[in-house]
Amino acid sequence: MSRPVEAVIAQAREFLGERITTNAALREQHSHGEDSQPRSLPDAVAFMERGEEAARVLALCHQHGVPVVPFGAGTSLEGHVTPVRGGISLDLSRMTRVLQVNPADMDCRVEAGVTRQQLNAHLRDQGLFFPVDPGSECSIGGMCATRASGTAAVRYGTIRENVLGLQVALPDGRLIETGGRVRKAATGYDLTHLMLGSEGTLGVITEIQLRLHGIPEAMSAAICQFDDLAGAVDSVIAILQAGIPIARIELLDDVQMGACIAYSKLDGYTARPTLLLEFHGSPAGVAEQAALAEEITAGFGASGFQWATDAAERNRLWKARHDAYWAALALRPGHRGLATDAIVPISRMTELIVGAKGDIEQSGLLAPIVGHVGDGNFHTVILVPPGEDGLARAWALDKRIVGRALALGGSCSGEHGIGIGKREFLEAEHGAETLAVMRQIKTALDPRGIMNPGKVFLN
Amino acid sequence: MSRPVEAVIAQAREFLGERITTNAALREQHSHGEDSQPRSLPDAVAFMERGEEAARVLALCHQHGVPVVPFGAGTSLEGHVTPVRGGISLDLSRMTRVLQVNPADMDCRVEAGVTRQQLNAHLRDQGLFFPVDPGSECSIGGMCATRASGTAAVRYGTIRENVLGLQVALPDGRLIETGGRVRKAATGYDLTHLMLGSEGTLGVITEIQLRLHGIPEAMSAAICQFDDLAGAVDSVIAILQAGIPIARIELLDDVQMGACIAYSKLDGYTARPTLLLEFHGSPAGVAEQAALAEEITAGFGASGFQWATDAAERNRLWKARHDAYWAALALRPGHRGLATDAIVPISRMTELIVGAKGDIEQSGLLAPIVGHVGDGNFHTVILVPPGEDGLARAWALDKRIVGRALALGGSCSGEHGIGIGKREFLEAEHGAETLAVMRQIKTALDPRGIMNPGKVFLN
């Protein structure tokens, strides 16, 4: 007797041909993201070229009760793309067409496999850019599925504020359009936002209508250092309250700054709490913003405020920030990195980070801190020692930090999502009844439970 | 045999006392909003003081199958608050507590009955404000339910970008919290955005966690006039593309400008297409923005660019804009106003408005135009002649304009919602399958169909 998945593979082969495969290397490649969850193989990998194909595969899987796990660039940090119950890994990485760019409306439509870097390269000569920047080479479909954000969210918003509409293949094989091209609309339920952050458990995002922004006339970067963490965080609150339209504002703690100095050769700085800032606007506006930010940070004990308007120096500083993860890993060769993602209201940030630093010390592990402080979000890159209990110790530390964030009115994830790793915190964060409502919606749209099972909800 | 609603009234009286009433005057007052739909009486009006009470009333109505229609300030323009099938009008207008203001986090928590004006009066001495400004004296709960926006959306976003979380009483009597206090989170389905714009058909919004903004250091207003509409609209596109962080940018057509000149004594202007602009920022930034905007508008044929930094002149101009509806009505004493709400991608705006002006002319009706052109959204205030066929002619004109907007990739409503009046357009806009998904969610959360029946969906 053949298994249901074999029926799906046979029937999908009729329209996908060799694009559905049980090749061992491809299955292995689709067994994990960039996370620390146990790997698990899909039964087959299916490479999509159009949303219609995704819908057809879903219809088959729905009919046969076979799990489907969407796969974009495979950069998930919480196990989203791991097929914990096998089934079909639905790979969207070949859907890389930029379908439409409308400069007058500052919007565009892309297929789910387009990466942020691809899109921005495509847009550059039109004076437009897509601002959501999680740092990694992720796909825009994946960013939508996890409700991603990154360093520029403080100014330009997260993916939530930059998606106008979606094409979604539903679990039963319907292919729908949500939202539209208009800037705002008050016409029925907001299915777009329901899908953003649903982590592939309600459907597969196949096309995205995005808002774009004009490349600012001028940009400048600044850096300053503090003797204590509180001064750095309090500066951020004051800068936001002053209404400075800061484009990016990132915190590096003493350990992370030390790592970056070594890794990125940042001469002239010391291993102290550091803020890295970026300003966008007119030349005069950027200068004014920087002067005001300097004045505010000086009031909180900052020293060495430097600002750089030339692209080379700005890129050098921000490249160091983007390489922070690798700089952290370089502190302990042979260790893996486990990224935490807690977020709190900004006023509780100092309390959270100081507490987290105590937790890190107590754990005996090394864990540099980088933070999207303008959002109240920060990551510790816990360096996981090799050997049996290394990962368990790292998870325990992650759990302690999440517990602190929840106690301060925060959330276990600012931007990485729930996936497998954060499921245990969802009820504590939202309450049992709110979680029950999420499950009702899940059941309504995916009655057979084929969409990315084992994610978001604990069974 | 007593009707189900009588059982609800009797049981609710046990905990509401005189706050549930069948008083004729109160029922009449709750039979309509500010729309042109036929009135319909509720069987009773229940005045809420807490979310818990709303949940208790809903539990009773769920048990007995009695309709519930949430009522805030009664400013709906599409029949949202009309109890077309009777039942309980759930009045939230007494829930006016500002529960919490967190200046460091720039957020606050309010009850659903708080109005925008109340909140801003409460916040003023803390240097903060809530920017979503639909013009009317609406409640924030009502703004959430209809996904409202208004004149400042081009800079600060709509209600969608300014709500962090909600307390919602569900149709079966559960009281849940959605979202939270953090700026962003990637933790489960976005129930907050599912509720925003659900028009009371999925639950009753009882408390709201809002984002706030710092009152800008400087503000200025500007006005300029054009010989043709296209020049005005093209100026807007160019201003947005230049990245000028314009706070408001509103269009008045020749007819509306004529009405405003007469009504608000705007001496020195002529009845031509007019742009009204507002800039927020630092003093130097505001001056720079205004200079750039003047240069751009001059390039599109604007004349008489004037800008006003003093509060009195700025308020005079914007008061004229806020009074545009009354100015329009004053053109034809004895007529009512029917507001259209079409929205298109900004690049199609000229085509839509020029087409709409042709439709207006053909209809023989008078209908001044005011537009949130920065969003692609505009209103015509159709002046409805007294007499039998006046309303039918006005609806027919509305329908023609909506048809144009849909054909241009737009939407039937930018900010007023679907209610009763726009139900017939929802399928044309979103497609039958997307609408079916909305219905699946409705059925999952409100299986007995008690929440605001007859709204959003046809039947």
**DSSP per residue over B193-247, as a string?**
HHHTT-TTSS-EEEEEEEE-EEPPSEEEEEEEE-SSHHHHHHHHHHHHHTT---S
**How many Å lie between the alpha carbon of A295 and the closest alpha carbon of chain B?**
15
- Judged by DSSP in three states, A216 sits in coil
Q: Write down which residue in A148, A183, A214 finishes a domain.
A: A214
Does residue B459 belong to any structural domain of this protein? no
Whether B447 maps to a domain, the answer reads: no
Over residues A279-327, the pLDDT tens digits come to 999 999 999 999 999 999 999 999 989 888 788 888 888 889 999 999 9
- The whole-angstrom separation of Cα A242 and Cα A256 is 28
Q: C-alpha angle B13/B17/B23, rounded to 5°?
A: 85
Record the tokens describing residue B172, joined without a space: 């079966």
Reduced to 3 states (helix: H, G, I; strand: E, B; else coil), residue A220 is strand
Pairing relationship of beta strands B107-111 and B204-211 according to DSSP bridges? antiparallel
Q: Mark yes or no for CB contact A243/B217 under 8 Å.
A: yes
- What is the rounded average pLDDT of the residues B196-214? 97
- Look at A243 and B213 and tell me if their CB atoms are within 8 Å: yes
CA distance A358 to A59: 51
Confidence of residue B10 (pLDDT cuts 50, 70, 90): very high
Judging by beta carbons within 10 Å of its beta carbon (0-12, 13-18, 19+), is residue A386 exposed, middle or buried?
Answer: exposed
Q: How many angstroms separate the CA of residue A23 from the nearest CA in chain B?
A: 33
**Adjacent-strand bridge partners of B205:** B168
> What integer is the mean pLDDT of B303-319?
86
The CATH number covering residue B408 comes to 3.30.70.2740
- The verdict on a CB contact (< 8 Å) between B194 and A193 is yes
Are A102 and A210 members of one domain?
A: yes
- Pull the structure tokens for residue B23: 């008083």
Whether A308 and A344 share a structural domain: no
**Residue A258 domain flag:** yes
pLDDT of residue B143 exceeding 80, the answer is yes
pLDDT (tens digit, 9 = 90+) per residue, B341-354?
Answer: 999 999 999 999 99
Q: Are A353 and A409 within one domain?
A: yes
| ipTM > 0.95 (yes/no) | yes
Residue A309 belongs to what domain range? Answer: 218-326
Write phi, then psi, for A205 (nearest 5 degrees): -75, 120
HSE-up of residue A204 (Cα within 13 Å, Cβ side): 39
In a domain, B312, yes or no: yes
Select from A63, A93, A123 the last residue of a domain.
Answer: A93
The answer as to whether A126 is a domain residue is: yes
Q: How far apart are CA B243 and CA B372, in angstroms?
A: 17
Question: Which chain B residues are within 8 Å of A185, Cβ to Cβ?
Answer: 147, 343, 411, 413-414
- A447 domain residue, yes or no: no
Min Cα separation B109/chain A (Å): 14
Q: How far apart are CA A111 and CA B138, in angstroms?
A: 40
Band (pLDDT 50/70/90 cuts) for residue B1 is low
Give pLDDT, residue B315.
Answer: 87
Q: Judge: A184–B149 Cβ closer than 8 Å, yes or no.
A: yes
Instruction: Assign residue B201 the CATH number of its domain.
Output: 3.30.465.10
**B203, burial (CB in 10 Å: exposed 0-12, middle 13-18, buried 19+):** buried
At B244, which CATH number? 3.30.70.2190
CA distance, residue B57 to nearest chain A CA (Å): 18
Q: Using CB atoms, which residue from A193, A415, A429 is nearest to B190?
A: A193
Query: Which tokens hold the place of B163?
Result: 């709500």
Considering the domain architecture, whether residues B185 and B224 belong to the same structural domain is answered as no
Q: Chain A: residue nearest B173 by CA?
A: A433
The C-alpha torsion from B56 through B58 and B59 to B63, rounded to 10°, is 140
State both tokens at A152. 């520029």
Domain boundary among B194, B214, B234: B214
Task: For A344, list phi and psi in degrees, rounded to 5.
Answer: -140, 165
Q: Three-class SS string for B337-375?
A: EEECCCECCHHHHHHHHHHHHHHHHHHCCCCCEEEECCC
Are A72 and A35 in a shared domain?
Answer: yes
With respect to residue B441, please indicate whether it lies within any of the assigned structural domains: no
Are A236 and A275 within 8 A, CB to CB? yes
Query: Rounded to 10 degrees, what is the CA torsion of A291, A293, A296, A298?
Result: -70
Question: Which of A182, A300, A441 is most worth mutating to test chain B (most B CB atoms within 10 A of its CB)?
Answer: A182
Contacts of B107 in chain A (CB under 8 A): 345
Please report residues of B whose CB lies closer than 8 A to that of A194: 189-190, 193-194, 441
Can you give the CATH number for the domain in which B22 is found?
A: 3.30.43.10
Chain B residues in contact with A411 by the CB 8 A cut-off are 180, 182, 185, 187
Nearest CA distance, B77 vs chain A (angstrom): 12
Same-domain status, B72 and B134? no
Confidence at residue B277, expressed as pLDDT on a 0 to 100 scale: 96
Tokens found for residue B295:
């240069």
| Model confidence at B224: pLDDT above 90 | yes
Residue B30 CA to residue B134 CA, distance in Å, equals 21
Facing residue for A184 by CB, picked from B104, B414, B434: B414
Position B390 in a domain = yes
User: Closest to B186 (Cβ–Cβ): which among A245, A416, A438?
Assistant: A416
Closest chain A residue to B179, measured at CA? A430
Pick the residue of B80, B154, B184 with the most A CBs within 10 A to test the interface with A by mutation.
Answer: B184
Separation of alpha carbons B277 and B292, rounded Å = 12
For chains A and B, CB pairs below 8 A equal 286
Q: For A104, name the nearest residue in chain B, comparing CA atoms only.
A: B347
A189 and B177 within 8 Å at the Cβ level: the answer is: no
Q: Is A111 left (phi over 0), alpha (psi -120 to 50) or beta?
A: beta
Min Cα–Cα distance to chain B from A188, Å? 6
Return phi, psi of residue B223, to 5°: -140, 140
Residues A209 and A272 in one domain: no
A389 & A377 share domain = yes
CA distance A456 to chain B (A): 7
Q: Give CA–CA dist B4/B65, Å, rounded.
A: 7
How many structural domains does chain A have?
Answer: 4
Q: How far apart are CA A385 and CA A387, in angstroms?
A: 6
What's residue B2's pLDDT? Answer: 74
The whole-number pLDDT of residue A1 equals 52
The two three-digit tokens of residue B71, written as one number: 């009522």
Of the candidates B102, B146, B444, the beta carbon closest to that of A186 is on B146
Q: What is the mean pLDDT of residues B24-42?
A: 97
Residue A210 and residue A108 share a domain: yes
Beta strand A369-372 pairing with A248-252: antiparallel
Q: Nearest residue of B to residue A424 by CA position? A: B187
Contact B367, B383 (CB under 8 A): yes
- Which phi and psi (to 5°) does residue B222 adopt? -140, 160
Choose the closest CB to A186 out of B147, B281, B347.
B147
Residues of chain A with pLDDT under 70: 1
Max CA separation in chain A (angstroms): 75
Q: Is A107 in contact with A181 (CB distance < 8 Å)?
A: yes
From B422, which residue of chain A is nearest by alpha-carbon distance?
Answer: A187
**Closest C-alpha among B73, B145, B191 to residue A188:** B145
CB contact under 8 A, B176 and A148: no
Rounded Cα gap, residues A372 and A252, in angstroms: 9
Check CB contact under 8 Å for A431 and B176. yes
Q: If DSSP codes are grouped into helix, strand and coil, which group holds residue A425?
A: helix
Task: Indicate whether B229 and B321 sit together in one domain.
Answer: yes
- Quick one: tokens of B20? 């549930």
- Look up residue A431 and give its two tokens: 């309450």
Q: Is the pTM of this model over 0.95?
A: yes
B452 to chain A, closest Cα gap in Å: 14
Interchain contact, A189 vs B181, CB within 8 Å? no
In chain A, residues with a C-beta closer than 8 Å to the C-beta of B188 are 197, 418, 426, 430, 435, 438, 456
Residues A43 and A63 in one domain: yes
Give CA–CA dist A438/A379, Å, rounded: 27
Chain A residues in contact with B376 by the CB 8 A cut-off are 105, 182-183
Phi first, then psi, for residue B449 (nearest 5°) are 65, 35
Quick one: angle between helices B311-322 and B254-264, nearest 10? 120
Contact A194 B190 (CB under 8 A): yes
B437·A414 Cβ contact <8 A:
no
Task: Tell me, yes or no, whether A275 and A359 share the same domain.
Answer: no
- A176/B434 CB distance under 8 A: yes
Nearest CB neighbour to A102, from listed B106, B345, B425: B345
